[in-house]
Every structure is written in structure tokens, then in C-alpha cells.
Amino acid sequence: MSDVHHDQARIVIIGGGAVGTGVALQLAEAGFTDILLLEREASLCAVTSPQAAGLVGQVRSSLERTKLAMWSVATFARLEREGEVKPSWRQTGSLRLAQTQERVAEFRRMMAVAEEAGLEVELLDAPAAARMWPHLDFEAAKAILWCPSDGYLQPADLVAAYQHEARKRGVRFRTSSGVAAIRLKDGRVAGVTTRDGMEIACEMVINAAGAHGYHVGRLVGLDLPVIPVRHHYVITTPTDWIRPDMPVLRMPDGTLYARADVNALLIGGWEPEAMSLDPRSYTLNDRLPPIAEDWPVLANFMEEFRPFGGPLCDQPVRHVFTGWPTFTPDGRFIIGESSQVPGFVCAAGCNAHGVSGSAGIGRHVVEALTEANPSPYVKSLSPDRFTQAPWDFDEARRRAQHVLETYYHIGH
Ligand SMILES: Cc1cc2nc3c(=O)[nH]c(=O)nc-3n(C[C@H](O)[C@H](O)[C@H](O)COP(=O)(O)OP(=O)(O)OC[C@H]3O[C@@H](n4cnc5c(N)ncnc54)[C@H](O)[C@@H]3O)c2cc1C
């Protein structure tokens, strides 16, 4: 049934960023094809996802996060190889640089986790790294960890690829269609109402609304600590030597990441004093506040890069990318169905992993919905951990900021 004012689908996904579209594809591949994705902007990938640097790193300090990232990489590589619409996935490999002995010890622990997960990593010496990134000085590195299957992609292309593949399996997409209300019947989800008054009957709603994840939770009476925290990076003017197939760089002691952007340098980082939004300070209907270019913080990213980048750190900046990715107080995703509101499912609070993690997040949503006994890790991501006990907004913001501030700290 579909007319101007009524429609129905088994599952309605709210939000057409990397997470919503990634979840749509994973669900469709698992056999859930009666899905309608609603995006309130005029196009998909219109808010936070297009701002992302597109870095995809698999080397993590926990086995679960490593496996999630490996699932994402396998999906990106498959879409790039077989898809008619490609995510522009470049498997460049990555170099992670240690500047302290504590960091070297952390690399060894990460290598043990990688080995357990079946992820290939190895330590390289400075000349080997310099062959991959000529003109950089790797002598300041006390250890260099190489992961050959890492890389980066273009988020807008990834979303287009997800949409194309999901559509082939029957998933429908509607843009300029903001959800204004969620209807409950006998305490469980029964449908949604859009801003323009369309009634859509459904059994399940998936909250993939990014920085409006808190507001969508409120539509069913739940308080979810989905806290937007500012993030930003710069792209320099082109050089005559950077090439797009050079490996992604991570310099955790300088809290920096970098990659080639065609012939330019993309460089961003995790600032020591983060800035967040109280989600109650804007409404479901509001757009997110604009972010002014913060030159002292951005210039510091370039300075922190100087031990390796030398004169490259004086390359002029051509463009600044900014946005409000969401963080949670415990730094973990919010994934799965609420036991208080059956049929209300979360794919939110991505802690700046929403693009790279999107396929793995989708996989976890499938596991949460289909497995009688999901893994302890997937269970631990349940929204119930926040909705069954009260939490404080100021404290949640402080902790969410802390997650960003300590992103590259040892053991994060
Ligand atoms: C500068 C920067 C760099 C980043 N770099 C990386 C990176 O290298 N790798 C990485 O993995 N991540 C990165 N991130 C984080 C990443 O961008 C986010 O984690 C990711 O985009 C979140 O995806 P999303 O789909 O949840 O959110 P969004 O892309 O914001 O999508 C949510 C969608 O929901 C829609 N919506 C909201 N309310 C409604 C409603 N009521 N009805 C219908 N639709 C609604 C919105 O319009 C929006 O399109 C970066 C972020 C920034 C800002």
C-alpha cells in the first residue's frame, strides 16, 4: 500500500548517512528487504558523513573493534571490486608512528590483538617507510607499524554504493522526508509520521539520525546520550610529489592522522580541549549550528606534524572540513533494540567511526536482531545501558568530550 499519505514497510530507517545506508545494505543482505529509509535532507549523505576524512583503520586495542573494522574493509573491498557503483576504496595500507617507548609497547599489544584477529601487520624500519612517503622524515619514529590492508574511501561514494546495492535488493529510499513522530501501539513501535503528514506503518524503526539521535530517542520517550562533539581537519594546496596511493599516516603521540588527498595533504587530529553540544540546545527540526574555522587548533595540527613533515607543515591550507560527529559517555556505539520500547532499534553514537565502521555497525545490528543469543560484545552495546538508569547531561558531555580528547591515548 502506498499513496500520497500512507505507506508501509517492515522496517523504517531514520537517516541516510553512512550509518543508515550501511545498515540498510547489511539488513538487505541478511534477507530483510521490506525496508524504507527516510532522509529529511534533499539528498543522502548530506550532514556529517560527507565531512568525514574517510580513513579506515583496523589496528585496534580490542579484538571486537578490530573484527568490526575488518568486516568493514572486506565490505568496501567487495563493493569496489564487484559493485556497479564504487565507494572509491583505496587499499593503500597505513603507517602508525610511535614517538615514545610506551607507544612502542602499545604497538606490540596491538600486534598481538591483530594476530588473534587474523589481521596482517608488521614493523617496518625508517627507510622502508620513506620509500612509501618520500620527503617525510621517519627518523623521529621509535617504531613504525604497517597494516597493508588499511586505506581510505570517499564517504559520498560509499553511501551511493550502499544505496545502489540495497536498492537492488528491494530497499526503498525517500529523501526530503523528515520523521516528526513515532507511533506506538501497546508500547511497541507501530509506525512513523513524516513532517509532511505521511503515515507509514512499520514494525521496527532504526534510529540512524546522527546528531539527532537524541531527539529521535525522545520521540519514544527514551533519553539517549548521543552527544555531538566538534571535529575538523584541513586539506593543503597540492604538492608536486604527494600521490593518492600513499599509505594513511597515524601519529598517535601527536594525536594526528593524515593521508593523501589527490596531490595534497589531508591532516586532522584530536584536540586536547574538545567542544560539544548539549543535544537539548537544538530541536529535531533544527539544523546543527555552523562551526567557525578554529585556526589556533588547526595550525597546531600542522605543528605537531613537524617532526615528520618538516617543510610540508608550511604548505598553505586550501580547505577546512568540520562537523559534529556524535560520541557517547563510554565511547561505545549504541546498537540494538530497546527492551523498554520493542521495535525501536539504535545505530547511533558512532564515536567518529560512523563511516569506517558503517558496514560492521550494520553487521552488529543484524546480529542484535537475528541472533537468539548475540555475542557479549554486541549485547554490551545495547541502548538499555543508558535508558534503564538516569544520567546527567553535563557529565555525559564531559565524558563524550574526553573520548575525543583521548582518542589516540594509549589503550583507547
Ligand atoms: C571532520 C570529520 C572527519 C571525520 N573523519 C572520519 C573518518 O575518517 N572515518 C570515520 O569513520 N568517521 C569519520 N568521521 C565521523 C563520521 O563522519 C560519522 O561518524 C558518520 O558520518 C556518522 O554517520 P551517520 O550516518 O550516523 O550521521 P549523518 O551522516 O549525519 O547522517 C544522519 C542523517 O540523519 C538525518 N536525519 C536526522 N533527523 C532526521 C529525521 N527526523 N528524519 C529523517 N532523517 C533525519 C540527517 O539529515 C542526516 O543525513 C569524521 C567526522 C568529521 C566531522
Q: Is there a contact between 335 and 381 (Cβ–Cβ < 8 Å)?
A: yes
Q: Could you tell me if the CB of 250 is within 6 A of ligand 1? A: no
List, by residue range, all CATH 3.30.9.10 domains of the chain: 91-151+231-273+290-322
Nearest atom (ligand 1) to Cα of 353: 11
Closest residue CA from atom 20 of ligand 1: 354
Nearest atom (ligand 1) to Cα of 211: 30
DSSP 220: T
pLDDT of amino acid 364: 96
Closest residue CA from atom 31 of ligand 1: 17
Cα 127 to ligand 1 centre (Å):
38
| Inter-CA distances, 42 with 24, 46, 366, Å | 19, 8, 28
pLDDT of amino acid 242: 98
Closest residue CA from atom 38 of ligand 1: 209
Nearest atom (ligand 1) to Cα of 216: 41
Q: Could you tell me if the CB of 96 is within 6 A of ligand 1? A: no
Nearest atom (ligand 1) to Cα of 15: 34
Q: Could you tell me if the CB of 381 is within 6 A of ligand 1? A: no
Closest residue CA from atom 50 of ligand 1: 52
Q: Which residue from 200, 225, 232 is spatially nearest to 323, judged by alpha carbons?
A: 232
Q: Could you tell me if the CB of 53 is within 6 A of ligand 1? A: yes
pLDDT of amino acid 4: 62
pLDDT of amino acid 3: 58
Cα 162 to ligand 1 centre (Å):
15
Architecture of domain 6-50+156-227+328-405: 3-Layer(bba) Sandwich (3.50)
Nearest atom (ligand 1) to Cα of 284: 41
pLDDT of amino acid 412: 74
Give, for 122, the enclosing helix (H) or strand (E).
strand 122-124
SS3 207: strand
Query: pLDDT under 50 in the chain at which residues?
Result: 1
Contacts of 144 (CB under 8 A, 6+ apart): 95, 96, 97, 98, 123, 124, 125, 126, 128, 129, 138
Give one word for 375, left, alpha or beta, with left for phi > 0 and alpha for psi -120 to 50: beta
| Inter-CA distances, 393 with 24, 143, 221, Å | 31, 40, 16
CATH 3.30.9.10 fits 91-151+231-273+290-322, yes or no: yes
Q: Could you tell me if the CB of 209 is within 6 A of ligand 1? A: yes
Closest residue CA from atom 5 of ligand 1: 52
List, by residue range, all CATH 3.50.50.60 domains of the chain: 6-50+156-227+328-405
Distance, in Å, from the CA atom of 260 to the CA atom of 313, rounded to the nearest integer, reads: 14
Cα 99 to ligand 1 centre (Å):
32
Nearest atom (ligand 1) to Cα of 19: 25
Q: Could you tell me if the CB of 282 is within 6 A of ligand 1? A: no
Cα 15 to ligand 1 centre (Å):
9
